């Protein structure tokens, strides 16, 4: 994709690669690198700098909501799931079943799980807040240890 800008954020739980257009954030994903490889440039869009700064505030326990613009690409169903995820409050958790019910499709539990796994905006669309109906941690694209850390981090600052 041309016209994309990238910046790495070194979080306490690994490098996060942020991608954006000049207008909106496109992805926020954990990457398996030990060090950030790209940093702010003169042409870095404001939205990318804002995202970087807001993630930094989140990890310092100073922010629980994000205000920069972002775009999601996916099916209508995936967008419904991702929108429902944003309704799970900071330091709270939900289940795949609760999300399925909230979007009016209570039998779509597995499909909700699949959509959750395709989320490209880690932390901002808080898929880490989804746990199993039994209260146990379920899969997380960034790794269960990161999910556990994020949930613990949010509870600490709530």
CA distance 80 to 76: 6
Q: Give per-residue pLDDT as tens, 48-79.
A: 999 999 999 999 999 999 999 999 999 999 99
Residue ranges in the chain modelled with pLDDT below 50: 1
- Show contacts of 131-138: CB within 8 Å, 24+ apart: 131/93, 131/94, 131/95, 132/95, 132/96, 133/95, 133/96, 133/97, 138/96, 138/113
Residue 140, Cβ density class (10 Å: 0-12 exposed, 13-18 middle, ≥19 buried): buried
CA-wise closest residue to 120 among 53, 33, 35, 51: 51
The catalytic site residues sit at 127
The residue among 20, 9, 32, 12 whose CA lies nearest residue 142 is 32
Give this prediction's pTM.
0.93
Closest listed residue to residue 155, CA positions, set 97, 96, 89: 89
pLDDT of residue 36: 78
């Amino acid at each position: 994709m041309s016209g994309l800008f990238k910046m790495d954020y070194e979080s306490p739980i690994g490098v996060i690669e942020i991608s954006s257009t000049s207008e909106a954030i496109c992805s926020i994903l954990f990457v398996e690198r030990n060090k950030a490889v790209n940093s702010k440039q003169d042409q870095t869009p404001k939205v990318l700098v804002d995202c970087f700064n807001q993630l930094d505030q989140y990890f310092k326990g100073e922010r629980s909501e994000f205000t920069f613009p972002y775009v999601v690409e996916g099916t209508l169903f995936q967008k419904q799931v991702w929108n429902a995820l944003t309704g799970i409050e900071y330091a709270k958790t939900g289940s795949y079943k609760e999300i399925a019910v909230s979007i009016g499709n209570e039998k779509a539990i597995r499909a909700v799980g699949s959509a959750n796994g395709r989320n490209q905006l880690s932390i901002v669309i808080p898929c880490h807040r989804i746990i199993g109906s039994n209260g146990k941690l379920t899969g997380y694209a960034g790794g269960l240890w990161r999910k556990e850390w994020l949930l613990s981090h949010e509870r600490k600052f709530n």
